[in-house]
Structures are given as C-alpha cells and as structure tokens.
Amino acid sequence: MRNSKLSRIKKWIVLSAAVCYAGALPAQYTPHPAMATEFGFVSPVSFPVLLSANYGELRGNHFHSGIDVKTQGVINKPIRAIADGTVVRIAVSPSGFGKALYINHPNGTTSVYGHLERFSDSIERYIHEIQYVRKSFAVDVTPPAGKFVFKQGEQIALSGNRGSSGGPHLHLEVRETDSQRPLNLLARGMLQVRDTIPPKPVVLYYIGVDTVQGVPVHTVRWKLSVRRDARGNYTLLDTAALRVARNGYFAVEAEEKKNGTDNPMGIYAFDVTYDGKPAFSMVVDRIGFDVGRYCYAAALYPQSRATRNGVYRLYKLPNNRLPVYRKTVRNGLLTLDDDGRHEVGIELTDDCGNASRLAFRVVRGLSAPQVVPDGIPVDWTKDFRHQQGGLSLSVPRGALYESILLDLSEKPKQRYAYSPLYAIHTPDVPLQGAVTVSIDASELPAELRSKALLATVGRDGGRSAAGGAWKEGRVTTETRSFGTYYIAVDTVAPRITPQFKSGDDFASRKTLSFKISDDFSGIGSYSATIDGKWALFEYDPKTATLTHYFDDGRWSRETTHVLVLTVADGKGNKTVFKGNYRR
C-alpha cells in the first residue's frame, strides 16, 4: 500500500478503527464524533448494531453490496433515515430486496433499505394505489421529486424478512448517487459496530499453473492448514519451505467475524509480498452492479462454495473487471527461476482496521502434474461455436474468465429425457456471461413442443429446469452454468392449496392466503380477482405463500365474496381455484 490511492484507503481504515472499536450506537441516535464530522450518518435502528453480513462478503454470484443489521430475530422494528433526504425510488418484488426504499442525501450519497415489512404509512398508501392501477404486486416506482422527504432519525419503515432474505434483518447500503456504486460503509467509517477481532487465515491453497495447447491449466497442488504462533502471527503447520512449481499463485480461506456474532463476514483487503516486495493487493470497495458477478473470478471456485468462509484467489484472472485490484505484479503469479528459498507474506485486513499476517517460505521443486487434461481449446477473447452430435454450443467472447480446454461428451438417453444427455464441461467452472445450448428435438412428439425445455442433471441425480423453448426442430436456452443438459417436458400444472375453507367467515381476520407450488419449470405468473375485480396478493417464494391483506375501503362489507385465483407455471400449465368467503 504505497501509492496515493492506498494511502487514502489506510486513512479510511484508521477512521473506521476509531469507529468500529467504540461499540454500538446508543438508542438516542447520537452519532460518533468521527461519523458526525465526516459523514453525518446515524444508525438506522434504535438498538445496538449487530451484523449478520458485511460489505463485500462473497455471495455466490455477487459480492454483498451492503451490511445486514440484525433485528433481534423479529420483524416490525422501526427503521430510521440515516440522514436528511428525499425518497427517489420505491421497489417491491417477490425476490431481491423485497420491499426497498432509496433515499438521496445532500452529500452525494444514496441510502438503500431492503427486506422491509412495511413502508411509512404515506408511502404504503401511495404504493398500494400504484399496485392496483398497474395490477401488479411487483412495482418499481420513481415518485415525484420532493413527494417524500425525511429528516435524519425519522421513521421511514418497519424491518422485515421480504424478498430473498434468510431471516429478519435490515439490508443497508450507501451508494454514490451519481454512479450508484455501493460503498464499504464500515471501512469508510459511515456506521459504527464493535469489532476487535482480526481476520483469521484458515487454509492456504497453492495452485500451479501450466499451459496445455496454449491454454492455462490451474491445478490445486497444496491445501495446507494454518497455525497461529505465540506472537499472534500465522504460519503453516509444517515450517519447512513449501515446494512449489515454477509458476503458480495462492488462495486463502479466511475467517472474519465481528464482536457479538458468529456470522461469517468478508475480508476487506489482501496484501501479498514476495521477498518483501509488493506482488498483489486487493481492496473491496466501490463494486458496481455491472461487475459484481466477477466475484466468481475473485474466489477460488468451487472451493469457496463448499465453506462458510470465503476462499479468496490472490491472482487476477484475465477476464476479471473488478475494480478492487490496487497493485499486482504478473497479476499475482509467483514465478521462481532459481532454486533458492523465498519469503511469502500475506496480510489480511478487515473493514474495521484489524489485521493479521501469514508468512512462510517457498522453494521451487514441484514437478508437473502427471495427468494432462484434454479438450477443445476455447479462447475467452473470441466467439466460439461448436456442434457435436445433436448438441450445438455457442460461447460468446467474454463469457469465460479465462481460456479453457472444453470437455464435451454424450450420454445415452434416459427414461425421463427426450434426447441424449450432453455433458458440457463441468459446473465447477463458472461463467460470467450466458452461453447458448441447443439440442436436436427430433425425438420430441409434436404435441409436446409447447411444453419442452432444457433441464440439467446434478451430481446427485437431481433434475432442474434450465428454461428454453422449442423452435425449428431444436430446444434452445441461454444459461450461465456448465453441466449436463437434455430435453425435458413439463405438462403438470401448479398446485394451489388454500389456507382456509371455502365459505369461511373472515370478519375478524386481517389476511387470506394460499400455498402455491410447481414441480419443475417453476411459478411463472399468478392473478386473482375478488367479485370480478383484480385483487392484490403478495407473493413470498421462500415460503411459497400468496397473501391478501384485506382493504375494507375497496370491497363491500358483510357479504359473501367470490374469489378466483389462477396460477401458471413456466410452460403455461394453469390451475384455477374458485371459492368464496364472507366478510
């Protein structure tokens, strides 16, 4: 960290350390002096801040773009504006953030509040009317300028568990308003949490890099446990110099936690030195949504998927557009041209300024892998098209993170399939962009063409829909996953299970609900009417529940109402429920 940008980052860490060590904000929303001076933000909740996730945590196909504030295991906690501002966007969706508010602030930032249960009363009424006008639960609205203005600390919503949420919490982001890039709140001292725990390196990986048919081949040569010595530094269990190949790089599984919580967090920064000289540096901040999926290139995949902690690749793959790399020599590749011993240092820093260091020695002496991979060379910088049997595959340039040796094979047709099974490389190699998979459908009966799609078979034999449709004798889909594909059909309609009996009296109830499910292509759409008029039902996919909240001003009282619900799956199979209730 010697250049000016990294000097500024160190200043952010120093500020953050002062903030993070100080403890949680008190209930009266008195900001820490550093925050009041630098940013002016206050806590969005009236109780001590505990996190279940931080900014930059590896989340499969993206970096976590904010922090997740625990809400004491329940919903309906008051959520406050962290600064004076104007609401510029209101979004409601069955997935993602669920119910979310976006507030612009005078200092050029936008705060985002996700997974809300309910907006403030005025916003709730406003969005409710728009949903009925558009006849849609999911809406994304830009209100008129100045329509909803809040003061710092004023209640804007109630916390919830909506959308793609695994439990009650508030997702909070601060973005640059102009670019909409999310910022690392804790590293910049924007919010206060208690953290005195340094990151912990758990496992060190060494990956050798060879070249076959002009394509780089990465092989995990070492997976080594790490120990902490009496002085608090980390080293390998075996203190002898690690034998490595001529070319290779390292990856680290790292554990990061905050005081008062056991949830795994993301690492803020890595700095790698070879013989005391900077070789690789990454700082996790300002990651735009347009490049978030490149987290697949920043992680060691699939190893990172198999652990609660992240496994970070300390090497920049060729097609990696993340703006997190500050200084790299040969993209982090360690090349040894002599037989001497060399010192390796890996420093890990969290977003509150706590740091730890892993140090060890290496020496050249690892032979090349005995098994040489084979396959079709695919250059990541060029479009690639290939046909093999009934399979047609198209890989556009930039879809791969680096060039690969593509492995293709055909397997016999199974009883559940309308084509042979085509194994396309391995799902252990992620994709940045979508590839097109097309399979000959000559064995598909004409009456099933409208119900056809592609599906995949997992390692456990489980089958999953991959989308697509029949056209001109083939079934084609776009996908961001390699795997084993075949033609399938879906002729089974969704299932509707009312959580009441037709004719029930709902005079004293606030809601009416259904469970809906589909066994293959998934829920495609739903629509409900009450007494022939469109009715708003809120969909929660994680609980498979449709819920109607009674609006007494919209429907007649003390009468029997006719309810019709239609649910369709991804291939147009429909189920219709007809019933009545009294209210």
The answer, as to whether pTM is greater than 0.85, is yes
CB 184 within 8 A of CB 268: yes
So what's the pLDDT on residue 20? 61
Same domain, 334 and 206: yes
* Number of residues that this document lists for the chain: 583
Tokens of 556: 């007649």
pLDDT score for 30:
33
Is 226 a domain residue? Answer: yes
Range of the domain at 347: 200-364
54 and 164 both lie in a single domain: yes
220 and 346 co-located in one domain: yes
Amino acid identity at 479: T
Q: 507 with 570, same domain?
A: yes
Q: Does residue 187 lie within any of the structural domains?
A: no
Give the CA distances from residue 470 to residues 275, 402, 449, in Å, rounded to whole numbers and listed in that order. Answer: 59, 32, 6
Asked if 131 and 65 sit in the same domain, the reply is yes
Q: Please tell me the distance from the alpha carbon of residue 443 to that of residue 473, in angstroms, as a whole number.
A: 10
* 349 backbone dihedrals φ, ψ, rounded to 5°: -130, 135
Statement to judge: residues 110 and 249 lie in one domain: no
Q: Within this chain, do residues 172 and 208 fall inside the same structural domain, yes or no?
A: no
CATH number at residue 433: 2.60.220.30
Distance separating alpha carbons of residues 377 and 405, to the nearest angstrom: 5
Domain-embedded: residue 186: no
Is the residue at 204 inside a domain? yes
- What is the rounded CA–CA span in Å between residue 309 and residue 311? 7
Residue 334 lies in a domain: yes
pLDDT at 6: 37
List beta partners, residue 566: 527, 576
The DSSP result for 516-546, as a single string, is EE-SSS-EEEEEEEETTEE---EEETTTTEE
In a domain, 191, yes or no: no
Q: Which two tokens stand for residue 219?
A: 């092989």
Tokens at 31, concatenated: 């900001």
Provide the number of structural domains found in the chain. 4
Strand partners, 171: 68, 114
Q: Of 489, 514, 543, which residue is a domain's last?
A: 489
Do 32 and 355 contact (CB within 8 A), yes or no? no
CB 461: neighbour CB atoms within 10 A? 6
CATH no. for residue 132? 2.70.70.10
Tokens of 5: 């940008």
Where is the domain boundary, 176, 211, 234?
176
Domain-located, residue 416? yes
240 shares its domain with 150: no
SS3 label, residue 580: strand
Rounded Cα–Cα distance for residues 322 and 474 (Å): 37
Q: What is residue 23's predicted lDDT score, i.e. its pLDDT?
A: 34
Q: What is the DSSP letter of 396?
A: -
Residues 280 and 398 in one domain: no
State residue 40's pLDDT score.
84
Provide the residue-wise pLDDT of the chain in tens; the chain has 583 residues.
Answer: 444 433 433 443 344 443 464 333 223 323 333 333 367 899 999 999 999 999 999 988 999 999 999 999 999 999 999 999 999 999 999 999 999 999 999 999 999 999 999 999 999 999 999 999 999 999 999 999 999 999 999 999 999 999 999 999 999 999 999 999 999 999 999 988 999 999 999 999 999 999 888 899 999 999 999 999 988 899 999 889 999 998 999 999 999 999 999 999 999 999 999 999 999 999 999 999 999 999 999 999 999 988 999 999 999 999 999 999 998 999 999 999 999 999 999 999 999 999 999 999 999 988 777 677 889 999 999 999 999 999 999 999 999 999 999 999 999 999 999 999 999 999 999 999 999 999 999 999 999 999 999 999 988 889 999 999 999 999 999 999 999 999 999 999 999 999 999 999 999 999 999 999 999 999 999 999 999 999 999 999 999 999 999 987 888 888 999 999 999 999 999 999 999 999 9
Quote the tokens at residue 442. Answer: 């000559």
Say how far apart CA 579 and CA 6 lie, in whole Å: 65
The residue out of 457, 489, 521 marking a domain boundary is 489
**Cβ(424)–Cβ(393) under 8 Å?**
yes
Backbone phi and psi for residue 293, each to the nearest 5 degrees, phi listed first? -70, -15
Q: Which residues contact 552 (CB under 8 A, 6 or more apart)?
A: none
Looking at the fold, whether 52 and 128 belong to one and the same domain comes out as yes
**Domain membership flag for residue 309:** yes
pLDDT number for residue 487: 98
Domain identity same for 360 and 386:
no
How far is Cα 158 from Cα 118, in angstroms, rounded to an integer?
5
Domain shared by 229 and 347, yes or no: yes
C-alpha to C-alpha distance for 58 and 63, rounded to whole angstroms: 5
